[in-house]
Amino acid sequence: MTKIIVEKSPALKGTVKISGAKNSVLPIIAASLLSSGEVFIDDIPELEDVNVIIELIKYLGAECTLKDGKLRIMVDIKDVEAPYDLVKKMRASFLVMGPILAKLGHARISMPGGCAIGTRPIDLHLKGFQTLGANINIGHGYVEATAKKLIGKKVYLDFPSVGATENIMMAAVFADGVTAIENAAEEPEIVDLANFLNKMGANIKGAGTDTIRIEGVKELKGTEHTVIPDRIEAGTYMVAAAMTGGNVLIENVIIDHIKPVIAKLTECGVVITEEANGIRVKGKKNYKAVDIKTLPYPGFPTDMQAQMMAMMSCAKGTSVIIETVFENRFMHVDELKRMGANIKIEGRSAVVTGIDHLSGAEVKATDLRAGAALVLAGLVADGKTVINDVHHIDRGYVKIEDRLSKLGAIIYREE
Ligand code: EPU
C-alpha cells in the first residue's frame, strides 16, 4: 500500500503552476459525448478521476487520445449504459446521463452509491430530466431515463447543486424550445462547461448567474477548449504557503475564482498580492484564527474546508467552521485529532482551538480534501506524518509530493 510521508518542513518558497480544474474537466469530457465532430480539450490534469471518465466514454463508444495534456475525442455512441464498475469508482460518472439522454433519448446509468462526505442523492438531476419530459425508472441498481423528445421547461432546483445544474444543462441542449434552470449553481466550472457547449454550437445564456437559459439546437460540432485552472488546487497551495510562513508564487489562477480563500487568508494576517503571472502568498507565524462557513459559490468552497481546518488547528485563537453544503464532511477531524488538534464537533459546526504544535502521526485520507488537509498538517507537525489511503489524494492533486518538494517541503511516497 502506498503511503505519503510528510516531515516538518521549512517555510515553502518558489513557484507552483496550477493544473486544469478537475471539476471542470470531468463534465466537459462527459459533454463531448454530445458532439458530432472532433473535440480537443487542453490542460487536462493527470488525475485518477480523469482516467475514470475517459475509460467510461471509451466504453460508451468514444475514441480518445491523450498526449501532452491534450485530449482528442471523437464520439460514436454505441452503448447507452454506464455500468456499476465504472460509476462506483467516481460519482461524477453520473454526468454522462444528461448527454446520452439528449443524444439518443435513452440512458441507463448505475446508481452512484453513498460516499465518505455524505449520502449525496441524485433527486435533483432526476427531477430536471423528468420536468423536460423523460420517464425515469429505477431498479436493479440502475436509473433508466427515456424520452422520445425532451421539451424545454422551467426547472427549479431546491438547492443549487453543481452536478444537477450540469446534467440538466447538457440534457437540454437538443430539447425543443427553451429550458430555464432556476436557482442554478453559479460555480466557475458551470461557466466553463457552458462556454464549451456554446463553442460547439449550443445556445446557453446566464451561466454564472442563478438562472441559466438553454435554447435547444439541432446539432453540436467539434471544437477546441482549454480548461480553467483548478481553484481548489490553487487554494490548497495557498494554505500550504500560509501555514509554513512561506513565500510562494501561485501561477495559472483566476483571481476572481479564489476570492473567498483570499479574503479568509487575509483575515488571518497572510499577505496576498497580485503579480503579472499569478498571486504571491506570504505567510506569517502566529496567524489569527477566523470563522468559516461553507456555501455554494461565490461563498466559501466546501472543497477548501478541510484544508482551512488544518490551518486553524495551529492558529492563534478559536475558530468556528460551519459546513452547510454536505452533511458529513468532517471525517478529517478524527485524523487531525490524532495529530493533537483540539476540535469539537457540534452538528454541522466544528470548534477549533489553535494549539502551538501538531505532532506527526499515522493517519488516513478519508476523502480527497481530507487527504490534502493531512498533508498540510504534516508540513507543520513535529516529526513524521504517515498518510494512508493516498489514492484519494491522487484523484484530485497532480503529483502533490513533487510540487511540494520543489517548494522545499519534506514529502515523499513509500510503497
Ligand atoms: N444534492 C441533493 N440532490 C441532488 C444533488 C445534490 O440533495 O440531486 C445535495 C448533495 O447531497 C450535497 C449538495 O446538494 O449536500 C451539494 O451537492 P452538489 O450536487 O452541488 O455536488 P456535486 O455536483 O456532487 C461537485 C464537486 C464536489 C464539490 C461539490 C460542491 C464535481 C465532480 N464535484 O459535486 O467536489 O464538493 O460540487 O461544490 O464537480 C471535490 O472536488 O473534492 C468534490 C467533492
pLDDT above 90: residue 355: yes
Q: Which residue has the higher pLDDT, 278 or 118?
A: 278
- Annotated active-site residue 115? The verdict is yes
Q: For residues 177 and 175, what is the distance between their CA atoms, to the nearest angstrom? A: 6
Q: For residues 334 and 174, what is the distance between their CA atoms, to the nearest angstrom? A: 47
Distance 361 CA to ligand 1 centre (A): 31
* Dihedral Cα 361, 363, 369, 374, nearest 10 deg: 10
What is the pLDDT averaged over residues 92-102?
96
Cα 87 to chain centroid, rounded: 17
pLDDT attached to residue 117: 67
Please measure the distance between the N-terminal and C-terminal CA atoms of the chain and give it in whole angstroms: 6
* Cis before 298 (ω within 30): yes
Cα 214 to chain centroid, rounded: 24
Distance 290 CA to ligand 1 centre (A): 25
Distance 299 CA to ligand 1 centre (A): 14
Give the DSSP per-residue string, 194-241: HHHHHHTT-EEE-BTBSEEEEE--S-B--EEEEPPB-HHHHHHHHHHH
What is the pLDDT averaged over residues 319-324?
98
- The best mutation among 162, 181, 392 to test binding of ligand 1, ranked by most ligand atoms within 8 Å of the C-beta, falls on 162
pLDDT above 90: residue 79: no
pLDDT attached to residue 195: 98
pLDDT attached to residue 78: 83
Strands 384-388 and 362-364: parallel
- Nearest atom (ligand 1) to Cα of 367: 42
Q: Enter the C-alpha cell of residue 150.
A: 425532451
Cell 507565524 appears where?
285
pLDDT attached to residue 115: 65
pLDDT above 80: residue 86: yes
What is the pLDDT averaged over residues 252-259?
97
What is the pLDDT averaged over residues 375-385?
98
Q: Whose alpha carbon is nearest atom 10 of ligand 1?
A: 120
Distance 306 CA to ligand 1 centre (A): 16
Percent of the chain whose predicted confidence (pLDDT) is above 70: 98
Q: Model's pTM, two decimal places?
A: 0.97
Beta bridge partners of 135: 146
Which run of H or of E encompasses 159?
none
Which strands form 384-388's sheet, in the order they lie side by side? 362-364, 384-388, 3-7, 410-414
- Which amino acid is present at 163? G
pLDDT above 70: residue 29: yes
pLDDT attached to residue 119: 67
Percent of the chain whose predicted confidence (pLDDT) is above 90: 92
Give the DSSP per-residue string, 389-402: -THHHHTT-TTHHH
Q: Is 121 in the pocket of ligand 1 (CB under 6 A)?
A: yes
Catalytic residue among 64, 115, 268, 314: 115
pLDDT attached to residue 120: 77
Strands 135-139 and 70-75: unpaired
HSE, CB side, 13 Å, CA atoms: give it for residue 237: 35
pLDDT attached to residue 45: 98
Measured CA distances, 72 to 3, 24, 29 (Å): 33, 16, 10
Q: Is 302 in the pocket of ligand 1 (CB under 6 A)?
A: yes
**pLDDT tens per residue, range 176-215:** 999 999 999 999 999 999 999 999 999 999 999 999 999 9
Query: Burial, 40: exposed, middle or buried (Cβ in 10 Å; 0-12, 13-18, 19+)?
Result: middle
Instruction: Tell me the pLDDT of the chain averaged across its residues.
Output: 96
What is the pLDDT averaged over residues 319-325?
97
